[in-house]
Structure 1
Amino acid sequence: MTKTLQKKFITTAMLAITVLILVLLGAINGIYGLISGQQMERMLGMLVYNGGAPSLQPELPGGVRPGFLEQPIDEDTAMSARYFLIRYNSDGEAVQTDVSKIASVTETEAEKMAEKVRKSGSSEGRAKQFRYKIAQTHDGKGSVVIFLDTSSQTRNILMVLGISIFIGILCWSLMLLFVILLSKKAILPIAENIEKQKQFVTDAGHEIKTPLAIIMANTDAMELHNGENKWSRNIREQTVRLNGLMQNLLALAKMDEGAVKLPSSDILLSSLLEENLPAFYEPAALKEIIIEENIQPNIIMHGNRDSMSRLITILLDNAVKYTSKQGNIIIYLERKEGVIRLSIKNTCDTLPEVDPEKLFDRFYRGDSARTQKSGGYGIGLSAARAIAESQKGSITASYEENQIIFTVELKNSK
C-alpha cells in the first residue's frame, strides 16, 4: 500500500511540476518572441519613417513610446540593423538600390525581391528571413521598399528556447529527485492511518465472529426448547446478515492489503460459472425471474479459483436481489481477441440516479430501505472490483433502458 501511495504521490506531484515548468517556459519564450517581433517592427517603422536612414528616433511615428518591456532603439541599435531598400519613382521604375547595410544580398537580388513583393499587393510581410514594408516617400512622388534582416532575431529566439528547455529539463530532473526523496515521508501519516483502519476492520471482524457464533448457537437451542417463532427467525436472519457483512469486510480488507499473494492455477471458468449458478435458481424462481445463460464452453484463465468463485457469487447475488419481480437476468461468458468477458444483465424497476461508477463505492446504497429488505450490505460490488483487479482485470457498470449491466474483463486468458 505504501508503495502504491508513493507512486501516486510522485506521479501527481511531477504532473503538477511539469505543467508549471511548461507554462513558465512557454510564457518566457512567448513574451521574448513577442518583444523581439515588436522590436523589429519598430525598427522597420523607424527606417520607413526616416526614408531608410537609421537615425536616432526616440519615439515611434505618431508619438507612440516603447512599451514597459520593450528595449528602446538607441543610435547603436539603429546602426547595427541589417537592411536594404529600393526606391521607385511615380512611374514605378527603380531609381535607387541601396545594399550598403547588408553583405549577403546583391543589387540584382534586391530588385528581384522588391518586384516580387510589389506584385503580391501586400504593403508589409515576410520574405525569407526578411520583414519588408512598402511606403510612400515623404514628397509623395514615389515609393520605397525596405527589407529588414531578422535572422539574428530568429537565432536569439532559438537560443533562448534551447537554453530554457535545458534549464527546464534540469529543474524537472532535480525536482523528481527531490520528490522521490521526500515522498515516503510525505505519505507516511496517510499510509499509517490506512493501515490502522485495515487492522481495525480485521481485528473487529475476528472479534465479532465469536459473539455471532454464540448468538446463533443460543438461537438454535431456544428453538429446540420453545420451537421456532418470529423473534427467533428475526434473530437468525439478522445474525446471518451481520455474519455476511463481516465476511465481506474481511475479504475486502485482505484484497486491499495487496501484499498477500493468492495461489494461482488454470481455471475452467465456464464450469466454475455453471457450478455457481444452481444456488441462485431457487431465489430467482421465488421472484419469477427468468435466467438466460449464454456461456461459451472451455474458457480457461489463470488466477485464483476461490476469488473468481466469490466474484461470480457477488454478481449473481446482486442480480437476483435487485432484479424486478418477473424480470430477466441474462448471463454472457465469452472469449474474444484474448479477452474473457463476463457480463451479467438484469432488469430493474427504476435505474439508480447516480453515475454507474458510484455503485462501486463502499457502503453506497441507492435505496436504503430496499437494500435493507433485500439483505444488501453496500460493499459487495466494492469487493467485486477488488477481486477483479487482483486477477489483472476490470469491472464496469452501465445502464441500458431499464437494465443494469455489470461487465468483467480479464486479459489473462489461455
Structure 2
Amino acid sequence: MIKKLQRKFIMITMGSLALVIAILLGSINAINLYQMEKKINGAMDLLIENQGRFPQFERKKPPQMEPRSGFKMDEETPFETRYFVVEVNEDGTIRTIDTSHIAAVSSEDAKEYGNKVIESGKKKGYKGIYKYAVGEQSYGSIIIFVNCKNQIQTAMLFLITSVIVALINYLLVFILVYIFSKKAIKPVIESMEKQKQFITDAGHEIKTPLAIISANTDVLELTSGENEWITSIRNQTNRLDKLVKNLLILSKMDEANVNMEMKTFKLSQMVQEAADSFEAIAETQNKKYIMDIQPGIDFYGDESSIHQLVSTLLDNAMKYSDEEGTIRISLTSSKKRIQLEVYNTTEIIEKENLNKLFDRFYRADFSRSRETGGYGIGLSIVDSIVKIHHGKITVKSTDEKSISFTVILSN
C-alpha cells in the first residue's frame, strides 16, 4: 500500500512537471521560430520594395533602419543575406533572373524554383531551404528567394539543445522526487498506519466482549427460554462479529499481510459449488436463478478468497434484486482471460453512483441495507481480492433497472 501510494505521488509529480516542461519548451521554441520568421519576412519585404536589392545603408539618414517585423538593417545585412531574384512578366513568363547574391544556385536552378512558385500560385512559402515571397511590380511580379539554411540549423540546434537540457533536468528532478517521496508522504503513511493499527487493535478487543455477550445470551436462553429479545441480541452480536471480521480482513489486505495460498485449482467446480448454495435461497424468494458456468476452467490463485469473492457477489445480488427478479452468474474463458459476471435485476439505480459501490461503508439504499444486514463493506473486500490477483472489476447498468458486476482475471 505504501509503495503504491509512493508510486502514485511520483507519477502525479512527474506528470505535472512533464506537462510544465512541454509547455515551456513549446513556448520558447515557438517564440524563437516566430522571431526568426519575422526577421526573414522583414528582409524579404525590404528586397521587394527595392526591386530585389538592399538599399544603400546610410548611418546619418537611415529610414530603412526602422524595425520591419522584427528586422533591422545594418551595414552587414547585404553580405549576411544570401538570396536570388526571379522577375516574372504579367503573362507568367520569367523576365529576368539575378543570382549574383548567392553562390549555391545557378540560373537554371533559379528558373526551376521560379516556375514552381508560379505554378503553385502561392504568395509566400518554402521551397526546400529557401523561403520565398511574391511582390507585385509594374511589369508583373518579383519573387524573392532567401536562403534560410543557417536560420533553420540554428532553430534545430536550439530545439535539440533545449530538449536535452530539459530531459537531463527532468531526470535529476525524478531522482530527487524518488529519494524524498517517502519523506513527503510520511504524514499520510503515519496516519494510515495508525488507522490500520486502531482497526486491528479494536477488532481484537471487541472480540472478547462479543464472545461474553454470546455466551451470556446462551445462558439466558437456557434459563428463561427463547424470546424475541434474546433472538435480537444474538442477531446483532452475529452482525457485529461479521463486521469486525470483515474490517480485519480489509486491514490485512491493505497491508498485503493476508495469508494467500496461491495454487492452481478448478475454478469452474468451485464457482459451481458456490452458486449451487444460493439456488435454494432463490427458490424460496421466487427469483429466477440462471447459472451459465463453462466447465474445465482452471485458475492460479487463492481458492478461499476467490470463493469469498463469488459468494459475496451472489449474496449481494440476492439481497438487492427486486421481488421475483432475475439473477444470473456466468463464467467463461477465452485465450488467457477469464470472465466472471454476476447480473441481477433491481430497483431503479443511479448510474453516477455505480463506482461508489466499491467504497467502504457506501450503501446505495441505506434503509434496505439495514434490513438485509449489509454494512457496505462486502464489495470493498471483493475489490481488494481482485486487485491482489491482478485482475479488474467493473460495474455497469444499461437500463438503470439491472446491474452487472464483471471480474476479469488473467489465466
**TM-score, normalisation: structure 1:** 0.91
User: Residue 382 of structure 1 corresponds to which residue in structure 2?
Assistant: 380
User: Residue 216 of structure 1 corresponds to which residue in structure 2?
Assistant: 214
Residue range with higher mean Cα deviation, 187-196 or 110-119: 110-119
Residue range with higher mean Cα deviation, 350-359 or 314-323: 350-359
User: Residue 22 of structure 1 corresponds to which residue in structure 2?
Assistant: 22
Residue range with higher mean Cα deviation, 375-384 or 175-184: 175-184
Q: Contact conserved, 1:54 with 1:79, CA < 8 A, in 2?
A: no
1:231 corresponds to which letter in structure 2? W
Q: Contact conserved, 1:43 with 1:78, CA < 8 A, in 2?
A: no
- Offset, 1:259: 4.4
User: Residue 253 of structure 1 corresponds to which residue in structure 2?
Assistant: 251
1:333-344 equivalences in 2 (<5 Å): 333-344=331-342
CA 1:66–1:185 in 2, change beyond 3 Å: closer, same or farther?
farther
Distance in 1, matches of 2:91 and 2:297, equals 89
Q: Contact conserved, 1:134 with 1:143, CA < 8 A, in 2?
A: yes
SS of the residue 1:400 aligns to: coil
Distance in 1, matches of 2:280 and 2:193, equals 41
Which of 284, 287, 293 is the aligned partner of 1:286? 284
CA 1:310–1:93 in 2, change beyond 3 Å: closer, same or farther?
closer
Q: Contact conserved, 1:42 with 1:60, CA < 8 A, in 2?
A: no
SS of the residue 1:354 aligns to: helix
1:212 corresponds to which letter in structure 2? L
- Offset, 1:136: 3.5
User: Residue 407 of structure 2 corresponds to which residue in structure 1?
Assistant: 408
User: Residue 84 of structure 2 corresponds to which residue in structure 1?
Assistant: 84
Q: Contact conserved, 1:59 with 1:66, CA < 8 A, in 2?
A: no
- Offset, 1:91: 7.3
Distance in 2, matches of 1:250 and 1:38, equals 69
Any unmatched runs of 5+ in structure 1? none
User: Residue 160 of structure 1 corresponds to which residue in structure 2?
Assistant: 158
Distance in 2, matches of 1:167 and 1:41, equals 30
- Offset, 1:375: 0.6
CA RMSD of aligned residues (A): 2.3
CA 1:8–1:235 in 2, change beyond 3 Å: closer, same or farther?
same
Q: Contact conserved, 1:84 with 1:146, CA < 8 A, in 2?
A: yes
Q: Contact conserved, 1:263 with 1:303, CA < 8 A, in 2?
A: yes
How many residue pairs get aligned? The number is 406
User: Residue 225 of structure 2 corresponds to which residue in structure 1?
Assistant: 227
SS of the residue 2:185 aligns to: helix
User: Residue 8 of structure 1 corresponds to which residue in structure 2?
Assistant: 8
1:29-178 equivalences in 2 (<5 Å): 29-55=29-55, 56=57, 65-66=67-68, 70=70, 72-87=72-87, 96-137=96-137, 140-178=138-176
Residue range with higher mean Cα deviation, 304-313 or 71-80: 71-80
CA 1:382–1:66 in 2, change beyond 3 Å: closer, same or farther?
farther
Q: Contact conserved, 1:83 with 1:101, CA < 8 A, in 2?
A: yes
2:150 corresponds to which letter in structure 1? S
> Alpha-carbon deviations, 1:14-40, whole Å to 9, x = none?
111111111111111111111111111
User: Residue 362 of structure 2 corresponds to which residue in structure 1?
Assistant: 364
Q: Contact conserved, 2:290 with 2:327, CA < 8 A, in 1?
A: yes
Any unmatched runs of 5+ in structure 2? none
- Offset, 1:216: 1.5
1:154 corresponds to which letter in structure 2? I
Q: Is 1:190 matched up with 2:188?
A: yes
User: Residue 201 of structure 2 corresponds to which residue in structure 1?
Assistant: 203
Distance in 1, matches of 2:337 and 2:358, equals 22
SS of the residue 1:341 aligns to: strand
CA 1:394–1:43 in 2, change beyond 3 Å: closer, same or farther?
same
CA 1:116–1:273 in 2, change beyond 3 Å: closer, same or farther?
closer
Distance in 2, matches of 1:321 and 1:161, equals 63
SS of the residue 2:360 aligns to: coil
Residue range with higher mean Cα deviation, 200-209 or 128-137: 128-137
**TM-score, normalisation: structure 2:** 0.92
Residue range with higher mean Cα deviation, 284-293 or 203-212: 284-293
